């Protein structure tokens, strides 16, 4: 959805480069297992797709002659270090096994939970939020939100399905969207363009 917006409108207005770069980092750290484990063709294709689209979006926003001029750097002020440092620290302490790939995987789980924050802050400062931007954020939130249903199903049907790091992070991630979803639903019901209160 985001690539569609950027390519069709030649603009990344209202999109946080910080969030996009954090997602690229999340996918790098999480999908290192592409090199040493195979789960299914679907799983591999989706991992490669996420990596490719994340990097493509960052490339457009940073280097495309037209698109990069629409990036509002002054408004996108969230500091990377405030998200990366606590997640890295937490991953070093709270993990299933203290190995490089496992710690990086855990770091990616924690970082994904909070990676939306720069985007949410930027949207709060934006007067006219594009429909595509609003839909993109809603879909991103719904993506992990729907996982919760899947986790309940898997917990009930699979014997060794215990993933508390993933569950807690996923619920926290979804909770961060709660406020956004509330206003998204209100505006959708009223058939109005999304506006977030300051």
- Stretch of residues binding other proteins (CB under 8 A), selected from 6-14, 38-46, 59-67, 177-185: 38-46
Question: What is the DSSP code string of 116-160?
Answer: THHHHHHHHH-SS--HHHHHHHHHHHHHHHHHHHHHHHHHHH-TT
CB 145 within 8 A of CB 175: no
* Among positions 163, 168, 176, 183, the unique one binding other proteins when judged by CB under 8 A: 163
Q: Is 37 in the site for other proteins (CB under 8 A)?
A: yes
Distance of closest approach, residue 139 Cβ to other proteins, in angstroms: 15
- Stretch of residues binding other proteins (CB under 8 A), selected from 31-39, 60-68, 76-84, 127-135: 31-39
Q: Which is nearer to other proteins, 162 or 193 (CB)?
A: 162
- Stretch of residues binding other proteins (CB under 8 A), selected from 30-38, 53-61, 65-73, 129-137: 30-38
Q: Is 75 in the site for other proteins (CB under 8 A)?
A: no
* Among positions 55, 78, 147, 181, the unique one binding other proteins when judged by CB under 8 A: 147
Integer Cα distance of 189 and 192 in angstroms = 8
Q: Which is nearer to other proteins, 88 or 165 (CB)?
A: 165
* Among positions 58, 84, 104, 166, the unique one binding other proteins when judged by CB under 8 A: 166
Nearest to 194 by CA among 138, 147, 130: 130
Integer Cα distance of 54 and 51 in angstroms = 5
Q: Which is nearer to other proteins, 147 or 188 (CB)?
A: 147
Q: Is 189 in the site for other proteins (CB under 8 A)?
A: no
Place of tokens 């931007």: 133
Q: Which is nearer to other proteins, 30 or 122 (CB)?
A: 30
Place of tokens 């609003």: 134
User: Which CB contacts under 8 angstroms, 24+ apart, belong to 136-142?
Assistant: 136/1, 136/2, 136/5, 137/177, 137/180, 137/184, 138/180, 138/181, 138/184, 139/1, 140/116, 141/116, 141/173, 141/174, 141/176, 141/177, 141/180, 141/181
Distance of closest approach, residue 138 Cβ to other proteins, in angstroms: 19
Q: List residues near other proteins by CB under 8 A.
A: 30, 33, 37, 39-40, 43, 46-47, 50, 96-97, 105, 147, 158-163, 166
């Amino acid at each position: 959805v985001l690539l569609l917006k950027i390519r069709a409108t030649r603009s990344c207005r209202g999109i946080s480069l910080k969030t996009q770069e954090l997602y690229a980092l999340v996918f790098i750290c999480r999908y290192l297992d592409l090199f040493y484990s195979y789960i299914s063709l679907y799983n591999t294709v989706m991992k490669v797709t996420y990596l490719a689209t994340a990097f493509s979006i960052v490339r457009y926003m940073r280097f495309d002659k037209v698109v990069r001029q629409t990036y509002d750097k002054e408004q996108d002020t969230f500091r990377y270090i405030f998200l990366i440092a606590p997640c890295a620290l937490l991953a070093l302490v709270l993990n299933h096994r203290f190995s490089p790939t496992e710690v990086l995987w855990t770091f990616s789980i924690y970082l994904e939970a909070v990676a939306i924050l720069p985007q949410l802050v930027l949207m709060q400062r934006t007067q006219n939020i594009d429909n595509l931007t609003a839909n993109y954020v809603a879909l991103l939130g719904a993506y992990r939100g729907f996982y919760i249903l899947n986790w309940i199903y898997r917990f009930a049907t699979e014997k060794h399905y215990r993933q508390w790091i993933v569950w807690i992070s996923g619920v926290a991630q979804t909770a961060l969207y709660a406020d956004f979803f509330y206003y998204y639903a209100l505006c959708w019901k009223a058939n109005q363009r999304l506006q977030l209160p300051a």
